C-alpha cells in the first residue's frame, strides 16, 4: 500500500552520513598507512564525497542511475596502485556500491587464452569471481596486441566492455599501468575510455618518502637501521633511482630483503656467543654498502664468496 512507503526526507545531513558510513576510518587508514601519494589521497577523498552526495540525491529523489565508477590508475611500478585499489574496494563496499568489497587482481594471462574457444571461459570465470567487488587489471594495455593477428585479447576486451556497461551496479573495474602506454591503449580502444569515469595518476615517491617507507617496512618486521645504515639507505635510494628497472617501493622492499640476508650472514660469521634482540634486529651500514648499486651495478641479490655482496 502507498501509505506503507515512508515519505522522502526534505533534506539530508551529509556530515552524519559521512560518520555513519565508516568512510572516515578508511580515509584515515589510507592516510596513516601510506606514505606520500598526496594527489592520490585527495582524489580518493573527492570520490568519497561524490558518492556521499550521490546517495543524498538518491534519498531526495534527485538521482536514480548508478554512477559510473570504473577507474584508471596510472603510474610507475611500486607506487601503491594495488594497495589503493584494495582501499577503494573497501570504500565502495561501505557506501553500498558493491556487495562484497573484495578485490580480484589479474593480468592478461588470467583473461586471455592461447587457442580458439579458450578466452571467453577464462574471462567469464574471472568476472564471475569479481562480481560484487572490484576487478583490478594490471598492465591492462597488454590485452591489446594489434601486431598479432592470432591474438585473442580482443575477445577478452569485448567481453569486459559488455560487462562493464551492463553490470556496473555490481562490478567496478580498475585498469592500471604506465601512463603513456595506458594513453595509447585508450586511443586504440575508445570503448574503454568512454566507460572510465575516474583517472588517477600515481606519482613517483621522493627520496625522503622512500626512506620513510624503508623504515616503516623494517619496523613492520621488527628491524631497524642504525644511524650509519640510515645514511647508507639514503645514498642507496639516490643511486638506485638512476638505474634501470627502478620500481619505487617495490625496489626498496627488495633491497631490504637483501640487506637482511647480508645481516644474517654477517651475524653468523662474526658471532662469538649469544646474541640479543638488538643485534638480531639492527641493520648496519655494511649490510647496505655491500650492494653492487654502490659500484654502479644492479642490486640483483647474487651471492659472492659466501656473502650477500652485490
Among 137, 170, 202, give the residue marking a domain's end: 202
Residues 227 and 162 in one domain: no
Mean of pLDDT values over 288-296:
89
- Residue 75 corresponds to which cell in the numbers above? 603510474
Q: Looking at the structure, do residues 97 and 179 belong to the same domain, yes or no?
A: yes
Which pairs count as long-range contacts for 114-118, CB under 8 Å and 24+ apart, including other chains?
A: 114/152, 116/152, 118/152
- Give a yes or no: residue 310 inside a domain: no
pLDDT at 58: 86
| CATH number of the domain that residue 114 is part of | 3.40.50.300
Q: What is the mean pLDDT of residues 11-36?
A: 88
pLDDT per position as a tens digit, 109-123: 999 988 888 899 999
**Is 281 within a domain?**
yes
172 φ/ψ angles, rounded to the nearest 5 degrees: -115, 130
Q: How high is the mean pLDDT of the chain? A: 89
In-domain check, residue 180? yes
Q: Which of 181, 202, 223 is the last residue of a domain?
A: 202
Residue where a domain stops, chosen among 202, 237, 253: 202
Tell me, yes or no, whether 241 and 130 share the same domain: no
Same domain, 47 and 111: yes
User: Is 273 found in the same domain as 253?
Assistant: yes
Residue 305 lies in a domain: no
Q: What is the mean pLDDT of residues 37-49?
A: 93
| Residue 301, in any domain of the structure | no
Is pLDDT at 181 greater than 80 in this prediction? yes
Residue 9 has pLDDT above 80, yes or no: no
Beta bridge partners of 174: 71, 136
Phi, psi of 302 (to 5 degrees): -65, 130
Give per-residue pLDDT as tens, 216-275: 999 999 999 999 999 999 999 999 999 989 999 999 999 999 999 999 999 998 878 888
pLDDT at 60: 85
**pLDDT tens across 57-112, in order?**
888 888 778 888 999 999 999 999 999 999 999 999 999 899 999 999 999 999 99
**How many other β-carbons are positioned within 10 Å of the β-carbon of residue 226?**
14
- Whole-number pLDDT of residue 201: 96
Q: Are residues 173 and 268 in the same domain?
A: no
Would you say residue 137 has pLDDT above 90?
Answer: yes
Q: The CATH number of the domain where 217 resides is what?
A: 1.10.8.60
Cβ-based burial of 245 (10 A; exposed 0-12, middle 13-18, buried ≥19): exposed
**Cell 551492463 -> residue:** 166
Which cell goes with 189? 580502444
Query: Treating both helix axes as pointing N-terminal to C-terminal, what angle do 249-270 and 227-241 enclose, rounded to 10 degrees?
Result: 140
Question: What mean pLDDT do residues 127-131 have?
Answer: 96
Question: How many Cα neighbours within 13 Å face the side chain of 74?
Answer: 16
In terms of residue numbers, what domain contains 249?
Answer: 207-295
Number of domains in the chain: 2
Amino acid at each position: 500500500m502507498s501509505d506503507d512507503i515512508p515519505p522522502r526526507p526534505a533534506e539530508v545531513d551529509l556530515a552524519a552520513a559521512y560518520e555513519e558510513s565508516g568512510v572516515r576510518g578508511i580515509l584515515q587508514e589510507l592516510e596513516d598507512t601510506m606514505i606520500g601519494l598526496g594527489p592520490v589521497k585527495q582524489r580518493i577523498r573527492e570520490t568519497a564525497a561524490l558518492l556521499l552526495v550521490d546517495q543524498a540525491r538518491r534519498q531526495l529523489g534527485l538521482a536514480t542511475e548508478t554512477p559510473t565508477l570504473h577507474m584508471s590508475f596510472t603510474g610507475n611500478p611500486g607506487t601503491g596502485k594495488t594497495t589503493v585499489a584494495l582501499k577503494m574496494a573497501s570504500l565502495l563496499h561501505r557506501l553500498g556500491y558493491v556487495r562484497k568489497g573484495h578485490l580480484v587482481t589479474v593480468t592478461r594471462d588470467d583473461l586471455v587464452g592461447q587457442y580458439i574457444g579458450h578466452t571467453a571461459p577464462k574471462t567469464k570465470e574471472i568476472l564471475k569471481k569479481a562480481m560484487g567487488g572490484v576487478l583490478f587489471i594490471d598492465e591492462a594495455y597488454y590485452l591489446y596486441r594489434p601486431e598479432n593477428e592470432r591474438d585473442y585479447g580482443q575477445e577478452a576486451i569485448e567481453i569486459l566492455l559488455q560487462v562493464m556497461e551492463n553490470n556496473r551496479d555490481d562490478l567496478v573495474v580498475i585498469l592500471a599501468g604506465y601512463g603513456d602506454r595506458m594513453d595509447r591503449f585508450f586511443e586504440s580502444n575508445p570503448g574503454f575510455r568512454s566507460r572510465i569515469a575516474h583517472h588517477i595518476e600515481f606519482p613517483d615517491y621522493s627520496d625522503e618518502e622512500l626512506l620513510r617507507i624503508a623504515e616503516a617496512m623494517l619496523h613492520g618486521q621488527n628491524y631497524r637501521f642504525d644511524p650509519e645504515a640510515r645514511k647508507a639507505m639514503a645514498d642507496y635510494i639516490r643511486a638506485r633511482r638512476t638505474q634501470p628497472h627502478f620500481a619505487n617501493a617495490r625496489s626498496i622492499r627488495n633491497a631490504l630483503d637483501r640487506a637482511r640476508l647480508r645481516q644474517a650472514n654477517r651475524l653468523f660469521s662474526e658471532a662469538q656467543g649469544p646474541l640479543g634482540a638488538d643485534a638480531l634486529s639492527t641493520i648496519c651500514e655494511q649490510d647496505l654498502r655491500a650492494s653492487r648499486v654502490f659500484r654502479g651495478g644492479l642490486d640483483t641479490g647474487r651471492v659472492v664468496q659466501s656473502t650477500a655482496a652485490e
